[in-house]
Amino acid sequence: MPQKIAIVIHAAPYGSERCLSALRVANMLAAHDEQPEVTVFLMSDAVVLALPGQNDGQGGKGLQNHLEMLIDAGATVRVCRTCAQNRGLIDLPLLPGTAIGNLTELTDWIMAADKVLTF
C-alpha cells in the first residue's frame, strides 16, 4: 500500500521561493520509485498558482510548469474555495487537473495521510 502524503501550500507564489520549493518536493515525491499518493491543497495566496497563463517575469512559466508536471504525475490538486472566493478567483478558469476543494476534503486528506507537509 503506497504512502499517502498531503502537502498544504499557503505561501504566495511570487513572494518567496516557498511555492517553488513545495512544488519541487511534491514532484520528487510523485516521481519516487515507491509511488506515494500525493495530494496538494492550495490555500491563502497560493490559490493563485492554479490560474493558467502566468509567467515568471522572464518569459517562462516556471511555477505553472511545475504544477502541470505534478498533475501529469498523478497528484491530486485542490484549491481552497474560501481562499479563492476571498481573492475574486472563484469563477475564473483553473489549470486543467486542478479543482476547487474545501476544508472537509483537506481534513479527510490529513486524517488519512502518513505524512503532512506545509509550505
For the whole model, what pTM was predicted? 0.94
Distances (CA, A) of 34 to 1, 3, 83, 102, 104: 10, 8, 33, 28, 28
Report residue 53 CA to chain centroid gap. Answer: 16
The single residue listed with the C-alpha cell 517575469 is 57
Mean pLDDT over all residues of the chain? 94
- The per-residue pLDDT for range 25-39, each reduced to its tens digit, is 999 999 999 999 999
pLDDT band at 9 (very low <50, low <70, confident <90, very high): very high
Helices 18-30 and 62-72 cross at an angle (nearest 10°) of: 20
